[in-house]
Every structure is written in structure tokens, then in C-alpha cells.
Amino acid sequence: MLARRFVLCLIVALVGRVGSVNAQLTPESRESLVEMVQGAKADLDADELPDLNSIRTSLSKQVSEVENYFIQYTDKENRAAWMTFLELDSITTALGQEGEGAGKDLARVAIELRDRLVGTAPGLELTVLRNLRDSLEELIAALRFQDRDAAIKMLDTQLSALANLITTSEDVPTADQFSAISARVDLLASARQAPELIKGLRDIFGQPNLAVRVSSELIGQVVGREISRTEPVKDVILGTSLTGTAVMNGQVAARLLPSETDAQIEVRLTGTVDTTNDGVNGPVRLKSESQGEVDLSRVITIDEAGISFGATTSEVSLTTKITNMTAKSDVALRVGKKQSVKKKPEADRIAKGKLEKRVTDQFESEMETMKANASSKLLGQAKPVLERLSLTPPSQSWSSSEQQLALDALFRSPSQLSAVNPPADFRLPFLFAAQLHESVIENAFTVILAGRTLDKDRLNELLENAGAPKAEANDQEEEASFEISFSRSRPVIFEARDGKLKVGIRGTRFAQGDRNPLNKAMEITATYEVLMDANNHPILKRFGEVEVDFPRERLSIRDAGLKPIIQKEFSKIFPELILDQSIKVADDAELETMRGREFHCSEIDIESGWLSIAFQ
């Protein structure tokens, strides 16, 4: 059995590599995965299911650690606010209950606390809170599988359904097919079953699902600049005191270096330094001029670990000449001229070394400022937001060619899938571009929204933090806020197929004001198509009105009255036009070369699960 399973894993791994070229589910990959499903069915093991008793004990410990953390590290007011927000007494009470119905109460309280621990509030990224959230996830799974015999039967049924999905799915699975496969992978992972099958599926559904491209032209524009700098000179060389002025004129430029394992940018400074000096050495007074040429470069490397700066390489040349020399006596003048000829080689060497150090220090100082800003922005901002939202930071693959810098990211948790096919290439030149696969939205919002109930303000906050367009303001009198409960399965709809982008949400309940809530499954969607605006720039335009559907549901007259209200509210969330405005860089942006610049959309492609947008 082990030898057969090893061969199957090897086949799936190889097929996964072939699939990355063919960009689809191949017959070979389907056959291998179905065989692995059958092996997983035979290996279902009730002893591997989460142990409820040990998880309850672990969760109690995590609750105590959270309480102790806020006692130790926060003041009284802050601690009281956190304790009110967390409501830890609820989970402590539920953990201590026994008897009929205790499990359901515990599951409800655990889910409510888990949902409070997923959001955008600063502090939710604290390790103790993330550990508590993980323990709650384990508890919820353990409660789901506490009837072990029933759990094994259910898992067997779900594996059969998975085999059918693998067999019948399209070569590039639809969004619904992907979601159904992904949900079963998550179920198996939470039950601690079928690790080899999960790995096989993740290998095939393992393409990067987020891509960013930046052209060498834009990098050159960002980094490139003219330098004109005038500085005073005050120095001593071989006993001669020098005062004067140094004028540097040059240019900073950047170019991409080819690399398959990381992205490399060479920043280069070339220029001239012209200096005029007045010198004093005892009785001798002199005037001198020098002309220097400098060529400095440093390589910036970007990879998954962050940004690193290589050592500076420099080439400096310097020619000097004395343009005038005077002294109080002819003897002193003759001695001065003789000494100047004798010492000139050493004086030139010293002057060249000082020039090289001065321009290198200046170059590296500017690069260090760039390094500090870039590192903090690249690594410091995204990580805590992802941790607050219980999202796994994406793995990153950086590369560069002479034409563009490329980032390919894989955004998924250990129990999620990603793309089975890569994105298409852009047809037109661009300055920068981004490509997003449906699985990014599925993976993110299944974690953030599935099964949760949110009001209008909270929904807008989460959507805007995820990068959605800001909801349109209402010029008329504000209506009562609404509340919506999201479906546990595919709560957010995002389909990029055949030139059309369909976005929306799936809900199970809608309520507004004093009206009785609508407790029915619903889909609220908007479909966008690519059109050209008056300036011949592509935009996304909503096709028709926002659709409100109730699959497999029959509405009463009262319920039907809520449909136009839902449609009106979500018409503000899903605007009529997207990408109709250019992207403008702030006039006070840190990068001076980018201040006030505008970028407009130059190409939009919507195919095979990928939304691709390029800018010029």
C-alpha cells in the first residue's frame, strides 16, 4: 500500500508540473486524483479526528493566557475595553457546561468569539489572540466531528462527491466547481484525514494566483533623476589647507538585471565633479582646479525575505592642476613649485581617495533612506493586516528580466487551493500591471465572511480594506442601515470568465430597520464588461442593474417588497463604473519623481478565472 501510494504521489507531482504548462485538469491528473480519493476512503481513521477533550483543555489555557497578557501588558482602561470586546466569560462558561445541548451552545459561543477575532482592528494581530483564534478553530472542528462514526460516514460521502467533482469539472474548473473542491479539501484538513490527497490536489491547484509586473521603463522613471549639487570644500592634503567649492553634475539611473530566483535592480550614479580651491601652505598661496569623473553602482535584491542592498562598487578618476602660485619671496615660490611637482602624485592619490569616499558616502546615505522606506512599506504594512483577518501571508516568487520585474504570489492557507492555470500575457506595453485569480477572493473571503452577520458600515469597511471601490455616497436622506448574514459556502462571488466580471455576495438573511428580516438564501450580483471611454481607455461598466436572486426560493408578497430595497443598497456598493478614474500619485509623495503623476488603465483582460489590468 505504501509503495503504491508513493507512486501515486509521484504521478500527481509530475502531472501537476505538466498541468502548469497545459493550464488545465488533464485526463492523467483526474485519474491519479480519483485513485487517491479511493485510497483516502480506505484510510479514513476515526482515531485521527480532533480530540475534543484535549482541545477543550488547550482552549481553556489559551483563554487564561489572553487574560494574563492584558493584565501584564496593558493599562486598566485598555484592558477593560479588550475584555468587553472579547467577552471571554462566555467561552469560559460554555466550556464548563455539560449535558444535553452543551455542545451546541459551546459551538455557537466559539464561532461568535472566533468571528470577533477576525477583523481590521489594531491588536487582533497579537500572538496571544491569534493562538486563541487557532484553538477556537480546532474546537469548532472537534465539535463537528465528535460523533466519530457519523463523521467517518460523512467524510466518506464527501470523498465520493469530491471524486465526482474531479471527474466532471471542466478542464479549467468554474468558480462553483473550484469552490466545491476547495470546501472538501478544507473539510478533510480540519478532520485530519487524507493528507496525501490534499497534497496532490494542492500540487495541481498550485499555480500562483496573484501576479504583479513592473516595467523597466517605470523603474527607470521612479529611480532616475538628475543631480546638480554645489558643496563647500574644506580640507588638508599634505600640509596644504584647502578651501573652495565642488560642483557635482550627474544622473542616477536604474536597470533590471536578469534573475530567475529574485528580482535585481542596479542603481547607478554617473557624473562629474569640478572643484576650485584656494590653498595655503606656509608662505605659499595657490589656486587649483580639478575635474573628476565618478561611476557608482549598487544592486538592490528583492525576494521573499524582503529587500537587501549589495555593496557599492565605484570607479573614480581625478585630474588636478595648479592654476596659480604666489609667495612672499622668490625663494619660497621656487621651493613651493618644486615641492608641488614632487608631491603631486601622492596629493592626487589622496585627493582621489577623498573624492571617492565623499561621493560614495553620499550615494549610500541616499540608498539607505530608500532602503528604510522600502522595507517598511513592503513588509511592515501588509503582514499585521493579514494576521488580523486570519489570512496566511502569500508565498512570493520574485524574478526580473531586462524588460520587467515580476512578482508571482501564492495566496492560500495550508488547507486551500489556488489556480490550475496561469494568466494570459498582456498584448500591449504597460508601465505596471496586476493579475488576480478567482481563488484569491475565494480564499480570502471564505475566511473573513463565511457565516458572519455584518451591518452596512462594517461590510463597507471590510470591502474597502480588501481593495474594493468605495461605496457611492448617498446625497439624499440616509436610510436605515441594513444587516446581512453571509452564506458559509462561497460568501463572495467573483467570476472572471469570457470577457465578463461577475461580482457579488451570497447571503442567508437580510434585515433593515423595523421591517421583518428576510430569511432566505439570496445572491446579489453585478456583472461588468470592458468598454472604452471617450479617451479610448478601457473601463469596467456594470451591465444592467444589480441582480437580486433567490435560488430555489419562493417569495411572499412581503418578502418581495424587500427585493428592490436590497437592489438599491447594493447598487451603491457595486458602482456603475470601475477604473473610470486615473490613478494619481499624491503631490507630497515621498518619491519626488512620482509626485502628481497620473496613470490610466491601458488594458483589461477577463478570461479563464483571471482578471488582468495594466496601466500606462
- Going by C-alpha positions, the residue among 321, 322, 242 that lies closest to residue 280 is 242
Average pLDDT of the chain, as a whole number: 89
pLDDT at 33: 96
Measured CA to CA, the distance from residue 388 to residue 376 in angstroms comes to: 18
SS (H, E, C) 192-240: CCCHHHHHHHHHHCCECCEEEEEEHHHHHHHHCEEEEEEEEEEEEECCE
> Of the ranges 4-8, 79-83, 153-157, 163-167, which one carries the lowest mean pLDDT score?
4-8
pLDDT band at 493 (very low <50, low <70, confident <90, very high): very high
Average pLDDT over residues 533-557: 89
SS (H, E, C) 68-105: HHHHHHCCHHHHHHHHHHHCHHHHHHHHHCCCCCHHHH
Measured CA to CA, the distance from residue 509 to residue 517 in angstroms comes to: 7
Q: What is the pTM of this model?
A: 0.87
> Of the ranges 10-24, 416-430, 466-480, which one carries the lowest mean pLDDT score?
10-24
pLDDT band at 479 (very low <50, low <70, confident <90, very high): low
Q: What is the CA radius of gyration of the chain?
A: 33
pLDDT at 477: 45
pLDDT band at 513 (very low <50, low <70, confident <90, very high): confident
Average pLDDT over residues 242-263: 95
Domain residue extents for the chain: 2-49+147-209, 52-144, 215-380, 423-615
pLDDT band at 17 (very low <50, low <70, confident <90, very high): very low
Q: Is the pLDDT of residue 468 over 60?
A: no
Helix H or strand E encompassing 274 = strand 263-281
SS (H, E, C) 437-478: EHHHHHHHHHHHHCCCEEEHHHHHHHHHHCCCCCCCCCCCCC
Q: Is the dihedral of CA 31, 27, 409, 608 positive or negative?
A: negative
- pLDDT tens-digit readout, 332-378: 999 989 998 999 999 999 999 999 999 999 898 888 766 665 654 55
The answer to whether 325 touches 290, Cβ cutoff 8 Å, is no
- Going by C-alpha positions, the residue among 155, 146, 63 that lies closest to residue 104 is 146
Measured CA to CA, the distance from residue 603 to residue 551 in angstroms comes to: 35
Average pLDDT over residues 539-556: 88
Phi, psi of 364 (to 5 degrees): -70, -30
pLDDT at 427: 95
DSSP structure class, residue 380 = I
pLDDT at 463: 64
- pLDDT tens-digit readout, 573-593: 899 999 999 998 888 877 778
